[in-house]
Structure 1
Amino acid sequence: MSTPISPGSLRRASLDSVLAYAWDSEVFTASDAMSTVGLTRSTTIDVTDELVGVGLLRELPNARAAGDYRKGRPARRFELRADAAVVVGLDAGRMHLTAIVADLRGDVLSVTRQESDAVSGAEDEIEADAVERRRALVESVIDTALHDAGRDRAEVLAVCVGVPAPVNAAGLSPVHRTEFWARMNPGLKDLIATWAPIVRVENDASLAAIAEGTAGAARDHQDYVAILAGERLGAGVVVDGRLLRGAHGGAGEPVGFDHVDGVHGAYGIGYRLAEWARISIAKGELPSGHPLAASGATVDAKAVLRLAGAGDAWAGALTERAGALLARIAGIYGTFYDPSLVVVSGAISGSLDPVIAAARRRIPDELDLPAPEISASSLGADVVAIGATMAAVEAARTGVLELAELPAGLAPAAAGT
């Protein structure tokens, strides 16, 4: 593909329509596509041949060769070359990074997880988040994931990275008083764009919202908020089916909770449960013989939630408190954005049933509008990486015809290969 096709041309619109149809279909004929995209037969055949010529589609053996021929001229058959290139979705959290390599339909080829230097022993927070260290880590995790999938950079069509910072439409994060956002997103779009044709950088909670709306709890909702509830709060907001970003990427940014009674900071549900448990133990409030009273017992959110689920009264009181906190947070988002659903996402979401139940009882008192439903995500710890992969696929779909040159794997394939 030597030159990009003019995005304003009728030809380009026809190519977009047929490519979109192919991306959502399995094997198809020109007649199949024509009935959906609304083009004439000759135009449909012409643009399908052009997409074969640039390597995005492959022509398969015709219906006679495939054993599906009955009478008349056998139909030509096509499919998207989903395996000819890959996309990468990366959750570049501060503590942990998860990369997914997938084919062009989003089918997963590899998942790679790695701890950041913030966990593994850098001397202090600034050193752990140093720009060059962060940039090298992001590329290292991507390269490892590609290696695990048996691919390399030359085969990548699109990359999407999720970071714990607001991100604007250009992939940049605003200045923060502690420079934390710049350390989390140190020019990652420009860095990866030196070798990847299409690059997208987004706020991590926004990508969680994409995942929930496509494959999770919000599939049937047009207005919802996805809350990341681990160590720090984050929220992705979808209104009228559109992901909100804002001028600087700050839609849903939870720093305002510093000023909200009953919340006092953007700390996640998991963080708060562990904090309250340790404070309670330090005050001597733990009942005699309690499982967490043993020397060396792990005191974290998962331990508290596990005990609450087993009927432990002390842990149950903490989860009731966490439910009140979640109701207050959901009530604020409910007042500002009027969602039908607030879905709680992240690593501990699968254990949050007692917290969700407590929040549901309290949410009607937190706002004047009809209270949103509150649900736990089923997508687990990889929700951001899943959303990033979906966003990378979408970026590939909408951006591939803009490219002057495609990845090497998308060289035109011969019929039947």
Structure 2
Amino acid sequence: MDWRGQYPTPPLPSPANRPASHDAVLAFAWTTGEFTATEAMQATGLTRSTAIDALDALTRLGLLRELPNARLAGDYRKGRPARRFALRDDAAVLVGVDAGHVHLTAVVTDLRSRPLATYRATQVLDEDDAAARSALIAAGVDRALSDAGRTRGDVLAITVGVPAPVNVHGRSPRHPTGFWERMNPDLVEALGWAPIAHVENDASLAAVAEGTVGAAIGCRDYIALLAGARLGAGVVVDGVLLRGRHGGVGEMVAFDHVEGVGSAAGLGERAELLAAEAVADGTAAGSALAAVEPDRLDARAVLELASQGDEAARTIAEQVGAVLARIVSVLGSMFDPQRVVISGGISAGVEDVVAAARRLLPTDLDLPAPELVVSPLGADVVVTGAVAAASAAARARALDVWPLADAGS
């Protein structure tokens, strides 16, 4: 089913002269279930005739469907039966992608962001070049669409998150080693087949997810800290996601120069390194850490042992917590957030680290220390944010692209 070609009715007016009532009614329909024309009129403040004109136009276009009236549905009422409508949530699909350095996750949803299919893959690092990465992402999207029984022609909006700064045009600046260019190999061009396509920094999408369905709902000043292998931050101030000219807000290379932090290595990477050192120098002798196979001594294993009370593992959690406290203190001084959310896969077992950081947060700062909380969204936080961003873009721009595409442009 291709939403761009299945409705042969005349297109709606162009954005320049389209009645604002169309946008108002569509926005209402997108956030509600079944509704009557009267409810649409009351919610939008439109007159009855204007609301009905908009409902009819959106129904002709295929964005809304008219449902059986109350009498036909068996809910008898006296007088004229009310006309009932609903968003046609299967009219198109949204796609969210987390294109990480190693892992790829692509999710296809209906227009209400209900998942239809998920595809996961792993990138082979020795094939970490721009062309191979772009092909892997494209193949992942196509596979997810196929699993959902859809094609590229059904996509209204797609958002891809990458581990690189991304400017407002979806492009990343040059990196000394070329890493950012490999992570974002002109994806905004590669996604040109979609009516609405965005490329975003992965930590920024984590912030979108936390503010939409995560640990920062209702919060206007917060930071989502992706802290697994490398540090990255999505920063929201006064309800606005900050970006910067090159998309570099939240890049953490500055921590290379912060005493007590020393690098942009994430909490997971630090836990693994400290555990390996403790085993190598004998500090972990007698600890369960020493019994873990070296190739399995990752952050998850260390933090799980810490939660079980292993003394050597708990010491590592305290050490990592001290680093986190310093990171949060610096971010607190720079951005004055109400809350810092530890996001990403590391959040699943990081409670001991966060508890240590809370105890160690400095009390001698001029500003109050921010709240430090753990995300409930786990490893899928970036793709969750990508879907949320695709949904927001679709709601804002659906009527800008739908009639143009329907007209064959």
Normalising by structure 2, report the TM-score.
0.94
Q: Is the 8 A contact 2:289 2:313 kept in 1?
A: no
Structure 2: 5+ residue runs without aligned partners?
Answer: 1-8
1:188 Cα deviation after fit: 0.4
Cα offset for 1:32? 0.2
Equivalences for residues 122-201 of structure 1 within 5 A: 122=126, 128-193=127-192, 195-201=193-199
Cα gap change, 1:178/1:105 in structure 2, threshold over 3 Å: closer, same or farther? same
**Aligned position for 1:98:** 105
Moved more, 238-247 or 203-212: 238-247
- Distance in 1, matches of 2:100 and 2:35, equals 40
The corresponding residue for 2:75 is 68
Letter in 2 for 1:164: P
The separation in 2 between residues aligned to 1:200 and 1:269, in whole angstroms, is 29
2:73 counterpart SS class: coil
Alpha carbons of 1:17 and 1:400: their partners in 2 closer, same or farther (altered >3 Å)? same
Q: d(CA) in 2 for partners of 1:316 and 1:170?
A: 45
Map 1:297-316 → 2, pairs under 5 A: 298-316=296-314
Which residue number in structure 2 is paired with residue 267 of structure 1? 265
Aligned residues of 1:6 and 1:12 also touching (Cα < 8 A): no
Deviation digits for residues 318-340 of structure 1 (CA, Å, limit 9, x no counterpart): 11111111111111111111111
Q: For each residue in 1:170-192, what CA deviation from the matched residue of structure 2 results, as whole angstroms up to 9, or x when unmatched?
A: 11111111111111001101111
The answer to whether residue 293 in structure 2 is matched with residue 296 in structure 1 is yes
CA contact (8 A) 1:4 1:403 kept: no
For the residues of structure 1 that align with 2:115 and 2:57, how far apart are their CA atoms? 28
Measure how far apart 1:134 and its partner are.
Answer: 0.9
Letter of the 1:48 counterpart: L
Are the aligned partners of 1:331 and 1:366 in contact in 2 as well (CA < 8 Å)? no
| 3-state SS of 2:19 partner | helix
Deviation at 1:7, TM superposition (A): 3.3
Partner of 1:415: none
For residues 267 and 41 of structure 2, what CA distance do their matches in structure 1 show? Answer: 51
The secondary structure found in structure 1 opposite 2:345 is coil
Tell me if structure 1 keeps the 8 A contact 2:171–2:186.
yes
Cα deviations across residues 20-53 of structure 1 (Å, max 9, x unaligned)?
0000010111110111111111000001111111
Within 5 A, what are the aligned runs for 1:181-260? 181-193=180-192, 195-260=193-258
Question: Structure 1 CA distance, aligned partners of 2:21 and 2:246?
Answer: 34
Distance 1:383 1:35, change over 3 A: same
Structure 1: which amino acid aligns with 2:90? D
8 Å contact kept, 2:230–2:264: yes
CA drift of 1:364 comes to: 3.3
Q: CA deviation at 1:12?
A: 3.3
Give, in whole Å, the separation in 1 of the partners of 2:253 and 2:74.
62
1:7 equivalent in structure 2: 15
Inter-partner Cα distance in structure 1 for 2:38 and 2:317: 58
CA distance in 2, matches of 1:375, 1:398: 31
Match of 1:342, as an amino acid? V
Question: Does structure 1 conserve the Cα–Cα contact (< 8 Å) formed by 2:226 and 2:343?
Answer: yes
Whole-angstrom distance in 2 between the partners of 1:302 and 1:162: 24
Question: Which residue pairs with 2:366 in the alignment?
Answer: 368
Number of residue pairs the alignment of both structures matches: 399
Q: Is the 8 A contact 2:12 2:57 kept in 1?
A: no
Instruction: Determine if contact 1:7/1:13 at 8 Å carries over to the other structure.
Output: no
- The aligned amino acid for 1:87 is L
Query: 1:334, 1:367 within 8 Å by CA — same for their partners in 2?
Result: no
How far has the Cα of 1:2 moved from its partner? 6.0
Q: Displacement of 1:406 after TM fit?
A: 6.9
Q: Which has the higher contact order (CA 8 A, sep 6+)?
A: 1
| Aligned residue in 1 for 2:4 | none
Between the aligned partners of 2:10 and 2:191, the Cα distance in structure 1 is: 22
The residue number in structure 2 matching 1:348 is 346
CA distance in 2, matches of 1:88, 1:366: 46
* Offset at residue 223 of structure 1 (A): 0.5
147-156 or 161-170, which moves further after superposition?
Answer: 147-156
CA contact (8 A) 1:155 1:407 kept: no
- Counterpart in the other structure of 2:283: 285
How big is the shift at 1:295?
A: 6.7
Shift of the alpha carbon at 1:366? 6.8
Partner amino acid for 2:15? P
**Aligned equivalents of 2:359, 2:325: Cα separation in 1:** 8
Q: Matched residues in 1 for 2:268 and 2:364: separation?
A: 21
Runs of 4+ in 1 over 4 A off after TM superposition: 1-4, 404-408
2:228 and 2:330 map into 1 onto residues whose CA distance is: 19
Corresponding residue for residue 125 of structure 1: none
Q: 2:149 is paired with a residue of what secondary structure?
A: coil
Q: 1:401 aligns with which of 385, 399, 402?
A: 399
Task: Give the superposition deviation at 1:294.
Answer: 2.8
CA distance in structure 2 between the aligned counterparts of 1:261 and 1:4, rounded to whole angstroms: 59
Gaps of 5+ in 1: 123-127, 412-417
**1:334 and 2:332 are equivalent in the alignment:** yes
Deviation per residue, 1:117-158 (Å, 9 max, x gap): 21xxx2xxxxx2211101100001111111121211111111
TM-score w.r.t. length of structure 1: 0.92
Distance in 2 between the 1:31 and 1:134 partners?
Answer: 50
